[in-house]
A and B are shown apart, each in its own frame.
Chain A
Amino acid sequence: MRYIPNADADRHAMLRQIGRSSIDELFADIPPSVTDAHRPLDLPPKSELEVFGELSRLAEANTASGRVPLLGGGVYDHYIPRAVHHIASRSEFYTAYTPYQPEISQGTLTVMFEFQTMIAELTGMEIANASMYDGATALAEAVLMAERIRKRGRVAVAANLFSHDRRVVETYAWAAGVELVDVPFTPTGRCDLARIPEDISAFVVQSPNAFGVIEALDGLKACLGDALLIAATYPLALGILEPPGAFGADIVVGEGQCLGLPMGYGGPLLGLFATRKEHLRQLPGRVAGRTMDADGRIGYTMTAQTREQHIRREKATSNICTNAAHCALTATVYLASIGAGGLRQVALLNLEKAHYLATRIAKLKDYSLVFDGPFFNEFVVRPSGGNADAVRERLEAGGFLVESPRAMADLGVPNALRLAVTERRTQAELDRVVDILGGKR
């Protein structure tokens, strides 16, 4: 086994040196009834050549990868500059542990510090942590954090949240005994701010929301009293959109997959978490801070750890330990590669292309856009005559991938398809979508 360097001769010598006659002796402390009950997996070892072949065949069985995705809803088909892969593949980065020993982890720590800065800049907030597992758990932790701060036992949640975010928030809130109250949406696709209840610890809004519609955050904070405003966001859109921080948000979370991570069938993802300095003591997760070494040189270290589980145990602000550090590194390198200029450019490409498709579809006789609020790069289309499933089938037969209408139906929008358009879609592809919808073959 080439991942185990020692040979039989080494093992014998080592056993002799520690006065043992066999390896079995080293396991004498496990009750024999337990070891007797052990059953192998019936899995013969295989060579790397065979295993690589087997995995390649499985990858090929994913016939999705030859198709054109119009799928969105939190994870998107964005282009990743090749240099990002090359840097992220440096094993000095990916084979390191959490930087408990800062003096030999300055690479990881400097990147964490850069990441926190970029996320604070993007979201318009004062501080950001070093990452959460994904956007959904970041949002769930934001709800728990707001509840720790305001302690009212109730949090209002916009009904147009991505379903996967909503599901995870529900699980965490159930266990924490926090009641979730729905805030419905209007025909614009935006949530109905007049329906936010009183006596809540926080209000959760997502922008762009599950319909792709950008919420009106201006003035929202002022109508919440002292309840916290939690905003879930799409960081790539912030290349052109005013960030939640500019509207007084208290906590901003988001899914960072769009910042240079492959879709990966939904994981690993990257949870973003930003807030204001006054809430530092309630922040979950790791943070890197800037400091000096014994010679007065600038260096970075994990800090504010008195919030964390290894020190505070059951009183910690979160149980999170390992997070999504390497995804955060990838996002940092992505943002550094494209810069603020490239981020604006890619956001505009998404916006323009999505509007091109939406405008053309809306002109077709049998289709309409379900919502009239402003949108970023995805929108919801309804075919007249109740046949969204059949329309999806036609698009799939034409080589596209489209989400099941069930996704929108689950949000109370029956017979509708959500279509996402990224910078990777070409005019030819989009025209083809219109042709298929319009009945051309």
Chain B
Amino acid sequence: MRTIFERGAAEAADGIFPACDVPVKEAAAWLGADLIRSKPPRIPNTSETTVVRHYTRLCKLNYGVDDGIYPLGSCTMKYNPKVNEDTSALPGFADVHPATDERYVQGSLKLLYELTRLLQGVAGLPAVTLQPVAGAHGELTGMFLFRKYFESRGESRRTRVLLPDSAHGTNPASAAVAGFSVTEIASNARGTVDLDALRAQLDDTVAGIMLTVPNTLGIFEEDILEVTRAVHEAGGLCYFDGANLNSFIGRARPGDMGADVFHFNLHKTLSTPHGGGGPGAGAVAVSEPLVDFLPVPRVVKRRDRYALDWDFPESIGSVHSFFGNVLVAIKAYTYLLQLGDEGLRAVSDNAVLNANYLQERLKRTYALPYDRLCKHEFVLSSEGLAKGVTTLDVAKRLIDYGIHPPTVYFPLIVHEALMIEPTETESRETLDRFAEILERIAAEAREHPELLHEAPTRAPVRRLDQTAAARNPVFTFPFEADLV
């Protein structure tokens, strides 16, 4: 893969910016020579032709949702409607500075206010902040809220957060960044929280629990009400990781299950694209006792005007430079308006049907450690497929068939995990083809395991040497001048 540093370099890149139309002095005359850059950054000067061809070639080495099924469990890689891209790019939204006086940005403020109200309705909770910009950022905001809540009650001894062993890595990491220690709760044989193990931990050092609903096995905690009740009775709070909202949106609300904090991933459930790793949006909904602690500023409506309100003295402060990823919020709002109540329910109906359909078929070929009704995703295991064949091999072989692999090796409680989330935007025909290929790979694993070990052979590169990458870290382009 050639980089931009190996192309062009001395081509003509001028003509983008005009000559200066005001009288000029030398930069050093304004600033003094000491402040002036002594060595230019090594960024090549490249013609537009070269730049466009370079990045067009690179984009073709990628696989996106527009290329086909993207069954990454826990990531909800659904189709991203094109209209979202266009509404968020309208100049009226895109070219607005965050310090603009409120009277000139009534459109954006109204949209943020209305989106907040819709998300409150989806969550069944009384207040929402749009400030967090990713799922993990929402978690962190939630953990800050936990902390502030207990500080305000003089209960700073509550320093422990409980987490099921199936939790996503961001959950314990977010709790730790907010200054909590983490206690893991083992799952029971059914893949859900073990109530007795939970109760054994509940005391007055517990700030609360972080739950993923449904959990990362794709299983709904049937005891959810007992779990949240037990935590509340012990004086704790309940955090719900909403990465899996796609499985019950339009049908059930976290607020009715006992959630005190719930984060949305707009870049999953509400169809905003993932962008190859962001930008996302991680709106957070909270229960009544936490409302005063939400980040500032908050978007409020005063008669028929929308405004930013900073006057919340108990707030945790700010978690983002401004008001969160507004342009991402616009995409989510566009999506919500199109779907309406009916569409939202259709999302969860079809997401769950697609997952159960695939689960029923694939469990005949792959091990299904928790064989029960699933929600929007399920977790298979490659264990026992064939001797010496790993989940990584299966994943890489899928690439040879032109399909993006599922999430692998997560959740940690399943060995050789293959976590499959089809989403509602895949057709039955696509699901059948995906299943057929996984079945063919299982047969290959027994008969021609080398096909799996050597895979991929039809991708832009063969399997990459991860160990070498870690052992001999090269994070920047090795310019020749630096190599001597």
Contact = CB atoms under 8 A, between A and B. Distances in A.
5 contacts: A56-B90, A77-B97, A103-B460, A110-B58, A293-B461
A17 B168 CA distance: 32
Contact of A264 (B96, B275, B339): B96
A297 B21 contact: no
Nearest to A58: B107
Contacts of B176: 314-316, 319
Interface in B221-269: 222, 224-225, 248, 250-253, 256-257, 267
A313 to B, nearest CB: 4
A149 interface: no
A291 interface: yes
B474 A41 contact: no
B188 interface: no
A116 interface: yes
A151 interface: no
B67 interface: yes
Contacts of B104: 62-64, 67, 401
A23 B169 contact: no
A264 B93 contact: yes
B204 interface: no
B222 A29 contact: yes
A14 B352 CA distance: 12
Interface stretch (B284-292, B380-388, B421-429, B440-448): B421-429
Report, nearest first, the 6 A-B pairs whose CB atoms are least far apart.
A266-B322, A59-B92, A326-B275, A266-B98, A325-B277, A45-B340
A193 interface: no
Interface string A231-267: 0000000111111001000000001000000111111
A403 B177 CA distance: 34
B449 to A, nearest CB: 16
Contacts of A362: none
Nearest to B328: A268
B350 interface: yes
Interface string A312-326: 111110111111111
B58 A107 contact: yes
A38 interface: yes
A404 interface: yes
Interface in B452-476: 454, 456, 459-466, 468-470, 473-476
A139 to B, nearest CB: 10
Interface in A5-62: 5-6, 10-11, 13-15, 17-20, 23, 26-31, 33-35, 37-48, 51-52, 54-62
Interface string B118-146: 10011010000000011111011001100
A266 B468 CA distance: 40
Contact of A62 (B17, B96, B343, B361): B96
Nearest to A60: B92
Contacts of A313: 169, 172-173, 182
Q: Which of B319, B357, B475, B477 has the most CB of A within 10 A?
A: B475
Given A3-B271, A58-B111, A104-B459, A33 B225 contact: yes
A366 to B, nearest CB: 22
Given A110-B58, A266-B98, A318-B177, A95 B118 contact: no
A344 B40 contact: yes
Interface string A289-312: 111111101111101111011111
B110 A58 contact: yes
A197 interface: no
A309 to B, nearest CB: 4
A175 B135 CA distance: 19
Given A170-B317, A240-B37, A325-B275, A89 B427 contact: no
Interface in B82-118: 83, 85-87, 89-101, 103-108, 110-111, 118
A374 B399 CA distance: 55
A342 interface: yes
B20 A352 contact: yes
B294 to A, nearest CB: 12
A214 interface: yes
A292 B468 contact: yes
B277 A130 contact: yes
A204 interface: no
B25 A352 contact: yes
Contacts of B94: 262-264
A396 B101 CA distance: 10
Interface string B171-185: 011111111011000
Interface string B278-316: 111000000000000001000000000000000000001
B281 to A, nearest CB: 8
B381 to A, nearest CB: 18
Given A96-B63, A314-B181, A374-B32, 8 more contacts: A52-B86, A71-B99, A246-B39, A301-B469, A310-B168, A314-B175, A341-B13, A427-B22
B360 interface: yes
Interface string A65-97: 101010101110101010100110111111111
Nearest to B112: A265
A438 interface: no
Contact of B321 (A104, A267, A287, A291): A267
B99 A407 contact: yes
Interface residues on B, range: 35 or more
B1 A38 contact: no
Contacts of A308: 169
Interface string B46-59: 10100110111011
Contact of A348 (B27, B134, B321): B27
A320 B1 CA distance: 28
Contacts of B41: 118, 121-122, 238-239, 243, 340, 343
Given A6-B428, A34-B256, A268-B279, A27 B352 contact: yes
Contacts of B30: 351, 355, 374
Interface string A343-366: 111101101110110000000000
Contacts of A83: 48, 51-52
A391 B323 CA distance: 27
B424 to A, nearest CB: 5
B469 A322 contact: no
B360 A17 contact: yes
A114 B4 contact: yes
B34 interface: yes
B22 A319 contact: no
A289 to B, nearest CB: 4
Given A3-B81, A263-B96, A268-B325, A96 B90 contact: no
Nearest to A55: B87
B464 A105 contact: no
B108 A106 contact: no
Contacts of A381: none
Contacts of A15: 353
A33 B32 CA distance: 72
A87 B50 CA distance: 12
A288 B3 contact: no
A65 B95 contact: yes
Interface string A124-154: 0011101101111100000010000000000
Given A14-B357, A51-B337, A38 B253 contact: yes
Contact of B22 (A96, A267, A338, A352): A352
A346 to B, nearest CB: 5
Given A41-B121, A106-B58, A264-B96, A164 B353 contact: no
A265 B350 contact: no
A309 B170 contact: yes
Contacts of A341: 13-14, 45
